[in-house]
Amino acid sequence: MNTKIQFYDNEEQRKVISHDNRLIEQINSAFEKLDSGKAVFISHEQAKNQMAERKTKIRNIKA
């Protein structure tokens, strides 16, 4: 088994920890929203359509 060990300098380690903490905050927020009944689930197809619309708007703004 190949195992990769990564060593980070202080700045890289700070960035990783900061990213991890932000991700944990987002996950906790999502679960709080779910627990409170405020979460709205959409189908994969709806999500794809919404993303396509957003991309179109962004591309039209930059054009």
pLDDT tens-digit map of 12-27: 888 889 999 999 999 9
Q: Can you give the pLDDT at residue 10?
A: 86
pLDDT tens-digit map of 21-61: 999 999 999 999 999 999 989 999 999 999 999 999 999 98
The four Cα atoms 17, 23, 25, 26 give a dihedral, to 10 degrees, of 170
pTM of the entire structure? 0.54
Q: Can you give the pLDDT at residue 13?
A: 87
Amino acid found at 16: V
Distance from C-alpha of 3 to C-alpha of 42, rounded to nearest angstrom:
39
Residues listed for the chain:
63
Q: Can you give the pLDDT at residue 2?
A: 61
Distance from C-alpha of 29 to C-alpha of 33, rounded to nearest angstrom:
6
